[in-house]
Each structure stands twice: as structure tokens, then as C-alpha cells.
Structure 1
Amino acid sequence: MAGFWASVFLCRPKPRALAGSTMVVAMGTRGREPFREGNLILERSNGEIDGDVTHRTQAGWLKWRAATGVLCDKKFLNRLKGKTFRVAIRPSLLYGKECWFVKKVFEQRMDVTELRMLRWMCGHTMIDRIRNQDFRESLGVAPLSTKMRENILRWFRHVQRKTYDAPVRRIESIILEGKRSRGRPRKTWKERIKSDLHDLHLSQDLTRDRVSS
């Protein structure tokens, strides 16, 4: 068991050292290569976060492969494997995602990555035709998209409790100059918050109530 917990400790993601940093680090010189804005990796051509989604999935697979000695060992119980996944693997997949303006396609990509990991942890593939819900119940792992929503709403609650002169709240009053491109405007982080609050039948006033939250 000592080796098991040593593997879990080594696979845990490192703490955030530069959280809140707004420094821009260029990833390349060509116009279509991604660049980093704080904790996000954006595409130069359209400002999307496809690069950040790919980076998170790759980081999750690296952590998963480092713990395969535990996660894919039939000697360990599925509940213990699920706990290892929740402690060591899932945080690396969700790192910095509370600031994502998430699309459905991004949620699907993250869920597909998670389910592939869960199937291999249980020793099965899609050929076995076992429902995804069976793997989640066996391992005790909630959907990754649900955890992403929880992280986004938790960060929103933290932001709403800040004073209006705080830097994180000043961004709300920024007015961008210029004309937007044709077509439907992109879905913003604030619109995602409103949609999640509506789906969960929650009120924005609850963010300042510590007892109910």
C-alpha cells in the first residue's frame, strides 16, 4: 500500500504558482500558432481555446499513464481506482477551467477522454458494449462536464464576493472598441453562467449567502 499512495502523491498536479497572472507569452511567430493569455492557450486566428482543450487532455493522459500501475491493476478494487482518479487525474484535466467559455463540443471532447480512461481502468473497451453509466457507478466517478460546471460556478461565486474596485471585477465594465464580425456573436463566459444558473434553478443572489452555499 505504501507504493500505491506514493504513486498517488507523485501524480497529483502541482499547485498554481502564477494564478491570476496576466502576462502574455508567445508560443510562436506564425500567425496561426497559439499563444498563452494567463492560464488559457488561445488560437491566434479566431481566439478559440481549442489549444487549451488539447493541452489539458494531453496533461491528463500523462498523469494517467504515470499511474497505470495502480489504475490498470486488477488486484485493486474499482472504488480505490476511482478515488485515485478523482485525486490525481481529474484535477489535471480541470486545471484552470473555471475561466473557460465552454462549448458543447469542448465538453464532449473532455467527456470522451475521461470515458476512455475509465474503460481501460475497468479492463474493457467499446467492443464489450457496456454502458458508460456502468463504469461511472462502478468507479464512483461523476461526469467531467458536471465537475467543470461546479468549478465555473464556484469561481463565479468567488468573483461576485469581491468588491467592485478589485481588478477581477473591473473587467466587467470594460468597453471594447471597434466592430464585431458578421454572424452570431460568440458565447461569453457570463452567458454560460446565466445558462447554468437557469438550468439549476439558482439565483445570483445566492453567491453572497455563505450559509446556503
Structure 2
Amino acid sequence: MKMLRWAVGVTRLDKVRNEHIRGSYKVAPIADKVKESRMRWYGHVMRRSDDHVVKKALALPDNNRGRGRPLATWWSTISRDLKQAQLNEETTQDRPTWRMRTRRADPK
């Protein structure tokens, strides 16, 4: 956001909302772009062969955690993203469909 504000020539003292700046430059929210990147990486990993190191690491068992709220892991975040997008693991094998369903372009 700081870079966009600098490009527009607006400071925080001008009290212009981030949504207005993002809308004027037609830039998607950073959370959507991070989610898109995470899903792209997940699809890349799942298309790998089963004997690849990264795929083996994903199959490792989880450790038992202590008391309290469980920490957010990459795997739990991916599961939530897949559920929101109504996708499953088999969809990753069909690359054109996967790209079409996970890609979030900047608003125009």
C-alpha cells in the first residue's frame, strides 16, 4: 500500500482510504493475491510425482500439539482455501481447469 500511495502522491495525513487508492489503480487486495499464489504452489506440488521430496514431506504425520488453540499451518490454510473455492485434490491434475478456477485477476 505504501508504494501505491507514493505513486498516487497521497500520504496517510490526507486520510484517503486504501480501497479508494486500490480502486483507482485497479489492484486486487493483497490477501487475494497471496491466496492465488498459495493455490498456484499447491497445484504445482500436487502435479509432482509421488516420489518427489516435497510430496513426501506433505505426507509426514503431524505432531501432537499442546493445549490451546492449534497453530495455523500451511496445510490447514490450503484446506480452507480449497473448501472455499469448492475444489478438490483431483482438480489439480487438470492444469487448464485448475488455473481457470484459482486465478484471481486484478479488477478492471
Normalised by the size of structure 2, how large is the TM-score? Answer: 0.76
Q: Distance in 1 between the 2:65 and 2:85 partners?
A: 32
**Alignment partner, residue 77 of structure 2:** 192
**Alignment partner, residue 156 of structure 1:** 42
Say how many residue pairs are matched: 98
1:122 matched to 2:8? The reply is yes
Q: Distance in 2 between the 1:117 and 1:130 partners?
A: 14
Structure exhibiting the larger radius of gyration computed from Cα positions: 1
**Alignment partner, residue 96 of structure 2:** 211
> Which stretches of structure 1, 4 residues or more, deviate above 3 A after TM superposition?
none
CA displacement at 1:176 relative to structure 2: 5.8
CA displacement at 1:116 relative to structure 2: 2.2
1:202 matched to 2:87? The reply is yes
Q: Distance in 2 between the 1:144 and 1:137 partners?
A: 13
Q: Which of the pair is proportionally richer in strand?
A: 1
CA displacement at 1:171 relative to structure 2: 0.8
- Deviation digits for residues 116-164 of structure 1 (CA, Å, limit 9, x no counterpart): 2211221112232222122112223222221111111001001111121
Unaligned runs of 5+ in 1: 1-114
What amino acid maps onto 1:208 in structure 2? Answer: Q
Work out which of the residue numbers 10, 13, 17 in structure 2 matches 1:131: 17
Q: Distance in 1 between the 2:14 and 2:87 partners?
A: 40
Q: Give RMSD over aligned pairs.
A: 1.9
Q: CA 1:121–1:164 in 2, change beyond 3 Å: closer, same or farther?
A: same
Q: Which of the pair is proportionally richer in helix?
A: 2
**Alignment partner, residue 173 of structure 1:** 59
Q: Distance in 2 between the 1:180 and 1:150 partners?
A: 29
Q: Distance in 1 between the 2:37 and 2:29 partners?
A: 13
Which has the higher relative contact order, 1 or 2, with Cα contacts under 8 A spaced 6 or more apart?
2
Normalised by the size of structure 1, how large is the TM-score? Answer: 0.42
What amino acid maps onto 1:154 in structure 2? Answer: R
Unaligned runs of 5+ in 2: 99-108
- Deviation digits for residues 161-205 of structure 1 (CA, Å, limit 9, x no counterpart): 11211111111232366x533222211111100111122232332
